[in-house]
Amino acid sequence: MKKMFLAAACILLVPAATLAQTLTIPERIESLSAKAKESVNITLDGPLLQLAGQFLNSSDGDERAAKEIISKLRGIHVRHFEFAREGEFTDADLDAIRAQLRSPAWTRVVDSRDDGEHTQIFVKQENSVLGGVAILSAERTELSIVTIDGPIDLKQLSTLGGKFGIPSIPQK
């Protein structure tokens, strides 16, 4: 998971250059929760996302920035699975989501493999603004998928860390 946080920080340095497209979580991913010993499923779309933003404190600087970001978003989706043993999921489970990410709308900006861990980060551009981020992080017994759909100001992106199931990005 440490690599996922490092990779997420890397997207702050990378410009995107693609067209817009909505990303959906395939049923094959959703069905992994039945095999997992622990799972997290967070889906915030449209009005529900805006409602969640109302719980952020406008007088707190970080929360105000997060509230501003989510006011423009169409969705935040987080899927995290922890399995009791290796082999409970395979790379093929991610094929359907990777197929969506191979479209012209998405650009892979990070692809890191190290000792049983594989992290990929994809971005898309909408009207010359970052329009979405997708993070896929697979370890031997853990799988995490985070998608953020909508215009994102890279300078403010880290303020969403620790909120709505999005991992915190360590600040230096």
Give the domain ranges of the chain: 2-160
pLDDT value of residue 7: 45
DSSP collapsed to 3 states, 68-88: HHHCCCCEEEEEEEECCCCCC
The whole-number pLDDT of residue 6 equals 42
Helix intervals (H) in 2-143:
2-10, 27-30, 46-53, 61-70, 95-101
Residue 171 has a pLDDT of 53
The secondary element (H helix, E strand) that includes residue 110 is strand 106-114
Q: What is the mean pLDDT of each run of 10 residues along the chain (172 residues)?
A: 45 34 85 95 87 81 77 90 95 92 91 93 85 94 94 68 60 51
